[in-house]
Structure 1
Amino acid sequence: MKLDHRFGPAGLALAAVLTLGAAPSALMAATPADTLVIADKIDDIVSLDPAEAFEFSGVNIVNNTYDSLIELDPNKPGELIPGLAESWDVSEDGLTFTFKMKEGITFASGNPVRAEDAAWSLQRVIKLNKTPAFVLAQFGFTPENVEEMIKADGNTVTIKLAKPFAPSMFYNCLTAGLAAIVDKETVMANEVNGDMGNEWLKNNSAGTGAYVLRSFKPQDSYVLDRREGYWRGDAKLKRVRVNHIPESATQRLQLEKGDIDIARGLSNTDVAGLEGAADVKIETAPKGYIYYIAANQKNEILKKPEVMDALRWAVDYKGITETVLKGQMMVQQGFLPAGYLGSLDETPYSLDVAKAKELLAAAGYPDGFEVTMTVRNDQLRMEMAQAIQNTLGQAGIKVTLKPGAGAEVLGDYRARNHELTLQSWGPDYPDPHTNASTFAWNPDNADEAKLTGVLAWRNAWDPGELTAAVDAAVVERDTEKRKAMYEDMQRKFRDDSGFVPMFQEIAQTALRANVSGFHTGGTIDSATYWYTEKN
């Protein structure tokens, strides 16, 4: 292997690190003091272009190589802070947002950051119309009107919306990866056939972030180099390498040996096996995924309120988190993950078989009933489903499990062909509307509406007044009032819907004891590397 002269005295050690994914253990070495080495599953990466990246691993890279107009503070979850804009404001009618750009910041290329770059970056998202574009398109932007609605004037960016939205909603969406500001001059110099540099940005970076993409090998690894002179202050570590290591046992072995600094894909068994190790620590943080049972309201039995209440009291929430899930999830009985505006920490339901039986009798089913529950056939979900099957059976609800591949189970769900189904849902952007608009909003419950992206519609559940409540909350300008609106609609949803929300996923990250300052991103942000250091 030919070593890059920039590796310096640590070159030989880094060379060993660069082959972690394929080298036998005898060739592995401790990680260099200036390099962070992470094991993770990164085969979800489709593109590194901020306008296209929408998978967790890809957005993690975007978060560390680009900045946005406004951002979330990794040290204060949920708090908005200035990014490339030093200040921002909204007009009285809620339609026009203005952002004043900071002076003196440059892209990695050395090009100055201009308001023109910021406006063009947001326009580009709409014009390319890749997967995440809907996050901005919901504000009324189209390829035809976006140049009129998003403009640069001097060092100010002006954005006009088609109709008023809650300012917090718009600001939250601007913290998503797709709103990263890219270097227009560099990107357009690499344009091919009118693609606005998309093909080039799939494997390159052109941002202002703390790191610059050095290399990316799909389903293998990526390497980020520190950008000297970063406007926030240089990153603590010179280099970050993330290896695609999907096997939990391999991650654990490499962590124990010191061949990696962080393991991000450990099973609960391997996490438990590391507890008490002197040179390893486990850190936890909530993730955005909500696990729930959906009960098809076309089913004459399941549509009865007493039956739905019986389901809620027939789940052993605490027992499942302690035995099956073992620290991988926590009880969450609202549709918003902890950390989101308006999320609830109330958990009024617990296992009460006697109460569930009483409710079934009141519904006209003193001897219970039989029902089928579809579930993806991976180990964790199957174990969860079996535990639910057991306690529902104790109450008299005889559940037949119907396992299947993800596409098969989702196909039944989207076609409204399920009875019960065990599912999970992750937010699309860091604002409560992302979940409220799918769990508690359904303007047309007819089969012909085919609102397949709306979970309430998939479940044939008419939320009634909640649909209007969701529409009202997304335009409420007072953030505290908006927060209270989501709290109220979640309580109504929790107690009177065709869903049984149960758990929220928890990230369990294993680190070498000398590593500090690593942020997973929690429920509303992406991983942050630039605060990470080794002691």
Structure 2
Amino acid sequence: MKLFKAALLAAALTLPMGAGSAMADTPANMLVVAQNIDDIVAIDPAQAYEFTSGELVTNTYDRLVQYDAEDPTVLSAGLASEWTADDEAKTITFTMRDDATFSSGNPVRAEDVAFSLGRVIKLNLTPAFILAQLGWTPENVDDMVTVDGNTVTIKYDGDFSSAFVLNVLASRPASIVDEKEVMAHETDGDMGNAWLNSNTAGSGPFSLADYRPAELIRLTANPDYFKGAPAMESVIIRHVAESATQQLLLTSGDVDLARNLTPDQIASIEGDGIKVETFPQAAVHFLSFNQKDEALQPEAVWEAARYLVNYEGMTDSFLKGQMEIHQAFWPKGFPGSYDENPYTYDPEKAKQILADAGVETPINVTLDVINSAPFTDMAQSLQASFAEAGINFDIIPGTGAQVITKYRDRTHEAMLLYWGPDFMDPHSNAKAFAYNADNSDDNYQATTTWRNAWAVPDDMNKETMAALSESDPDKRLEMYVDLQKKVQETSPIIIMFQAAYEVAMQDDVEGYVNGATSDFVYYRLVTK
């Protein structure tokens, strides 16, 4: 039974939550979350680029099309009830739904869409590059996004499909803000940026009632949300930096969710009214070989390497709960993912592959790795398992900056790193893992292929660009699956794992959704 008094909760939120806290359960209509939220720099959708700010934007704003709580893997209607794409004319026309309102009470208009998208481009803050991919500039965006009654026509300039454009329009900076409310708070031509960094003006399932940086986020449910009012009348996200304090608050019933527990804490906390749910994340972890090193060029070395990773040995021990086996470049849980994992640890098979190809061993190679857990543990596991086939790793630990700088300079031999997409479209990773049309040293590319000096076969380069422009959505996804198979079978990049995220919660909490990125964390369906 929920006996928690509102006054007691209010008092708790003004005091540090530490070991001395002792309270009853949280109210039935309120979700209380313990989380480290000190990463937030901005919450204006045109500027927000941090993990926690992404979560806040997703729960307070809508987009024309969006990945939503019911199924974060399916692109669905948002503020647009329907749309028509014309790939030849490079336009998409959206019809606005007529039952959406902003938290101010203002109806959501087509004009708000044009204002919001143009605002991102004109402010040109950190995430603007995502929309700018469509060929939009401050000078042309008003001509590229136009309004006619209750329809919005989006024009784009580039050799890519409307499916790609839709995924761009489902990204965080494409969130729609209330033009009238925002411009009423404009200061010195900032288009409301300062005000929106402490307030929200969206149509989402929640609105921001209180925001205190590195202290508290309080969300209030929108009772008129077009998909139905959330069951939780409010969500309180309390900044709790220490994982030990989060654990204590959860076990004492003072919070419903603890978002930042360590694997050891997760292992010890389940039971006694607490459950743990695991959510796949977007980052994929891989081992790669620089093709500037002659000893690492034979395809037999790449193939053997796939049988020298002790996948289960790692995920069943020090990576348990943090990663799962995934051997393709596009993460599971995203449209177009390829989820088959054909490779297992088999050193005898690896030795035979090398012998049949006439590859002489031992091969001595340096392995750069970020000097922190779990990366150093992963490197040591690889060192032990690869040695079984005569591939000897000399581990070189470094700071993240040192490792990535070396990677960008193409001066490594082997590299242990991870990669995540900028937005939810498979081209974001296909370009990184399956495309490199110019491998010259002076053609720097922020891709794993170029950084490993792998001159991708011409047919794969062509397929990557063809997939980008393919107009049939199903065929397009099939092409990305085919690209993943090809990279999985024959490339100097051995994809091993996909990150996972564990959340501990009271066992009466249902409906919490934590998708593969911070943009897909939803509180709308939570009940308890």
TM over 0.5: yes
- Structure 1 position 13 matched with structure 2 position 8: yes
Contact 2:488 2:495 in 1 (8 A): yes
Letter in 2 for 1:507: Y
1:158 is paired with a residue whose SS is: strand
Q: Deviations over 1:357-404 (max 9, x none)?
A: 233345555431211111111221111111111101222111111111
Give the alignment partner of residue 154 of structure 1, picking from 137, 140, 149.
Answer: 149
Letter in 2 for 1:285: F
Residues in 2 aligned to 1:109 and 1:281: alpha-carbon distance in whole angstroms: 37
> Partner of 1:424 in structure 2?
418
Aligned-pair CA distance for 1:88: 0.9
Residues in 2 aligned to 1:288 and 1:92: alpha-carbon distance in whole angstroms: 29
Residues 524, 343 of structure 1: alpha-carbon distance in 2 compared, 3 angstrom cutoff? farther
Residues in 1 aligned to 2:295 and 2:357: alpha-carbon distance in whole angstroms: 9
Residues in 2 aligned to 1:224 and 1:127: alpha-carbon distance in whole angstroms: 29
Give the alignment partner of residue 83 of structure 1, picking from 78, 83, 89.
Answer: 78
> Partner of 1:224 in structure 2?
219
Residues 191, 422 of structure 1: alpha-carbon distance in 2 compared, 3 angstrom cutoff? same
Contact 2:54 2:519 in 1 (8 A): no
- Structure 1 position 48 matched with structure 2 position 57: no
Contact 1:14 1:32 in 2 (8 A): no
Contact 1:337 1:523 in 2 (8 A): no
Residues in 2 aligned to 1:271 and 1:24: alpha-carbon distance in whole angstroms: 19
2:55 is paired with a residue whose SS is: helix
Residues 27, 254 of structure 1: alpha-carbon distance in 2 compared, 3 angstrom cutoff? closer
Contact 1:29 1:259 in 2 (8 A): yes
- Structure 1 position 372 matched with structure 2 position 357: no
Residues in 1 aligned to 2:324 and 2:14: alpha-carbon distance in whole angstroms: 37
Contact 1:311 1:356 in 2 (8 A): yes
Q: Deviations over 1:270-311 (max 9, x none)?
A: 111123x13011112211110101211111111221111222
Residues 498, 209 of structure 1: alpha-carbon distance in 2 compared, 3 angstrom cutoff? same
Q: Deviations over 1:81-113 (max 9, x none)?
A: 221111111126251111111224321122221
Please give the root-mean-square deviation of Cα atoms over the aligned residues, in Å: 2.0
Residues in 2 aligned to 1:314 and 1:508: alpha-carbon distance in whole angstroms: 28
Contact 1:50 1:62 in 2 (8 A): yes
Aligned-pair CA distance for 1:181: 0.4
Residues in 2 aligned to 1:533 and 1:19: alpha-carbon distance in whole angstroms: 26
Letter in 2 for 1:257: S
Residues in 2 aligned to 1:98 and 1:86: alpha-carbon distance in whole angstroms: 11
Residues in 2 aligned to 1:20 and 1:491: alpha-carbon distance in whole angstroms: 54
Length-normalised TM-score, structure 2: 0.95
Aligned-pair CA distance for 1:25: 2.4
Residues in 2 aligned to 1:337 and 1:372: alpha-carbon distance in whole angstroms: 28
Q: Deviations over 1:189-231 (max 9, x none)?
A: 2222322222221221111111111222333331112223223
> Partner of 2:489 in structure 1?
495
Residues in 2 aligned to 1:354 and 1:10: alpha-carbon distance in whole angstroms: 64
Structure 2 residue runs of 5 or longer lacking an equivalent are none
Give the alignment partner of residue 392 of structure 1, picking from 378, 386, 391.
Answer: 386
- Structure 1 position 458 matched with structure 2 position 478: no
Aligned-pair CA distance for 1:45: 1.8
Residues in 2 aligned to 1:291 and 1:36: alpha-carbon distance in whole angstroms: 33
Q: Deviations over 1:29-74 (max 9, x none)?
A: 5323322111223222221111122222111100111111112232
Contact 2:68 2:520 in 1 (8 A): no
- Structure 1 position 72 matched with structure 2 position 67: yes
Q: How does 1:27-66 map to 2 (within 5 A)?
A: 28-66=23-61
- Structure 1 position 440 matched with structure 2 position 429: no
- Select between 131-140 and 402-411 the one with higher mean Cα deviation: 131-140
Contact 2:116 2:179 in 1 (8 A): yes
Letter in 1 for 2:428: T
Q: How does 1:31-430 map to 2 (within 5 A)?
A: 31-91=26-86, 93=88, 95-163=90-158, 165-275=160-270, 277-362=271-356, 364-430=358-424
Residues in 1 aligned to 2:198 and 2:406: alpha-carbon distance in whole angstroms: 36
Residues in 2 aligned to 1:418 and 1:21: alpha-carbon distance in whole angstroms: 47
Residues in 1 aligned to 2:392 and 2:62: alpha-carbon distance in whole angstroms: 53
1:37 is paired with a residue whose SS is: strand
Contact 1:374 1:409 in 2 (8 A): yes
Letter in 2 for 1:461: W
> Partner of 2:512 in structure 1?
518
Contact 1:357 1:366 in 2 (8 A): no
Aligned-pair CA distance for 1:23: 4.3
Structure 1 residue runs of 5 or longer lacking an equivalent are 1-8
